[in-house]
Structure 1
């Protein structure tokens, strides 16, 4: 089967996220890296693209150059990944959708709810894929959790507890570090810092696994380092449309925590616990039974987990493999469209623009609630109310 082609905007030399995308997109042989505009400094972006093997005429200086160059090619890229600073996501995603390209956008999808609603409507009107990179939903055992919930193994889910708390921004003397400073600057980050950066991954995972959407929330937000305008710690209570209650803690000053993403579910017939730093194990406590450890790669897991598993049991997996599962989903979605068939249900799990929109609505609700002493706020986007 011929490879699909893929292009990337952003993710240049020194990027934290660029290598994970390039590894993920190429891991299974679904995509060939064919074009890129990799840096906001045009000359640097062109040079870096060429160093990665891009041909001279497809290593672009700006995203506008890439749009102009690719839209007229007979072999134009099948998918464009947007991995640029947050404030540019809307303009780039919108332009490429309007030009007929499928898009995978880094989160946040946009900076405002209104922009996100426009992207959702545009993708639907153009009949194009617009995905959002909530990459942690690609882990096999996260997908197995979702399958267990969907088939009723836990009964009705009463409570979900999500965390994404690390300590890598705990040093107050880092106030002028440009890699950290922008995250707490409203002009660059928007209305939220830590929740928008990390907490939203935990919230998306809660929604992904339970199959429910957040309807309302109450948030206590605080800047533990007083010089920061935006929050570096937040505690969020939320309610979901299927009746589940949620608790979420996110922090960037939790010294001793490294990555800190974890999820627990508590249902009528059992509970589940998973942590990103130990992704090969899922802990299952059946009601009235003994604690069980489900291992990634063991026999008789769900089709969703089996499809997302590459290496044999007992071997480590990591974030690029989770990203690769999203790219594999997208490849299956693109090919199914081209071939006029239904896509594999076990692959139909990539986060959509609608997920990015719901996340944006939650970010604004957290900011509003935090300003108002934890008052409960509607967390639904206006178009979904």
Structure 2
């Protein structure tokens, strides 16, 4: 099978997410790292790209140079990953879609709902794949949980409770650290801090496993470190279109929690529980029965969980290979085999509508608001 050609924008040297994409994209031999504009400083980006093995003529100084350079090539990249600061996602993603490239965009896909709806329309018009990197939904045991819900193995879902809370921004003396400060600056992060950064992963996960969408929500935001304009802690209650009740807590000042991403799904006949710090296990409890541990790699798993498990039982795969699973689904989609598990532009705009809805609700002391983008109401 011929490798697909892959290019990356952002994710340069020292980036938090860049290595995960480079490992993930190349883990299964389906993509060749062929082009990149990896840094906002042209010379630095070109140098780093070449050190990673990209040919000099495809080591670009800017995303605009990469767009023009790749557009005219017969061997142009099949997929472009956008891993730049949030405020640039819309412009870059739109430009590459309009030029006929498939795109994987880091979350949040856009800064506004209107931009998100525009990306949905552009993606549909282009006929190209536009995916959003909600990579936690690609852990094998999350795919197992979704398949179990779809198969009715816990009955109708009544309640979902999720959190994505850590304490790594809890030190007030570190508030001016540039790697921290931008997340609470409206000019860089947009209208929301912690909820837009981590909370939307938890919200997407709830929708993904429950196979349902958030219809309305009520939010309480807090900036526990006074110098921060945007929230560093949020509690969000929500209701899904099928009637499921949702509870979500997200925080960056929860000192003592590390990654802190977990989800519990409670149905009529059973419950499921997953922790990101123990991703190989899914807890399942049937009504009136004992708790069971379902292990990644064991026999009898649903197909999607089996397909995305690379190593034998008890061997951890970890975060980069969850990202790799997104690239597996992307490779299939680009080759014409659609995967409904691949987070797409519609998921991206739904997340942004929820962010703006939560901000509006918090400003109204928790009033219930519509969480859907206008195009899906």
Q: Is the 8 A contact 1:81 1:104 kept in 2?
A: yes
Aligned to 1:356: 348
Q: Is the 8 A contact 1:24 1:321 kept in 2?
A: yes
> What is the CA deviation profile of residues 179-223 of structure 1, one whole-angstrom value per residue up to 9, with x for unaligned ones?
000100111111100000000000000000000000000001000
Query: Scaled by the length of structure 2, what TM-score is found?
Result: 0.99
Aligned to 1:278: 278
Separation in 1, partners of 2:118, 2:366: 29
> What is the CA deviation profile of residues 292-333 of structure 1, one whole-angstrom value per residue up to 9, with x for unaligned ones?
000000001000100110011011121100000000000011
> What is the CA deviation profile of residues 63-109 of structure 1, one whole-angstrom value per residue up to 9, with x for unaligned ones?
00000000000000000000000000000000000100000000010
Aligned to 1:160: 160
Aligned to 1:239: 239
Q: Secondary structure at the match of 1:215?
A: strand
Q: For residue 288 of structure 1, report the CA deviation from its aligned partner.
A: 1.2
Aligned to 2:101: 101
Q: For residue 149 of structure 1, report the CA deviation from its aligned partner.
A: 0.2
Aligned to 1:28: 28
Equivalent residue in structure 2 for 1:377, among 343, 352, 369: 369
Aligned to 2:83: 83
Alignment of 1:106-117 (within 5 A): 106-117=106-117
> What is the CA deviation profile of residues 7-51 of structure 1, one whole-angstrom value per residue up to 9, with x for unaligned ones?
000000000000000000000001000000000000000000000
Alignment of 1:1-385 (within 5 A): 1-336=1-336, 343=337, 347-385=339-377
Aligned to 1:339: none
Separation in 2, partners of 1:217, 1:353: 21
Separation in 1, partners of 2:224, 2:37: 38
Separation in 1, partners of 2:193, 2:317: 29
Q: Secondary structure at the match of 2:313?
A: coil
Q: Is the 8 A contact 1:333 1:348 kept in 2?
A: no
> What is the CA deviation profile of residues 123-182 of structure 1, one whole-angstrom value per residue up to 9, with x for unaligned ones?
001111000000101100000000000000010000000100000000001121000001
Q: Is the 8 A contact 2:169 2:175 kept in 1?
A: no
Separation in 2, partners of 1:175, 1:329: 38
Separation in 1, partners of 2:64, 2:226: 40
Runs of 5+ consecutive residues of structure 2 not aligned to the other structure: none
Separation in 2, partners of 1:278, 1:29: 27
Please, what is the CA RMSD of the aligned residues? 0.6
Q: Secondary structure at the match of 1:176?
A: coil
Q: For residue 358 of structure 1, report the CA deviation from its aligned partner.
A: 0.1
> What is the CA deviation profile of residues 232-255 of structure 1, one whole-angstrom value per residue up to 9, with x for unaligned ones?
000000000111000000000001
Separation in 1, partners of 2:363, 2:83: 30
Separation in 1, partners of 2:366, 2:243: 21
Query: Scaled by the length of structure 1, what TM-score is found?
Result: 0.97
Q: Is the 8 A contact 1:329 1:348 kept in 2?
A: no
Separation in 2, partners of 1:348, 1:175: 40
Q: For residue 348 of structure 1, report the CA deviation from its aligned partner.
A: 3.4
Separation in 2, partners of 1:226, 1:60: 41
> What is the CA deviation profile of residues 325-370 of structure 1, one whole-angstrom value per residue up to 9, with x for unaligned ones?
000000011112xxxxxx26xx431100000000000000111111
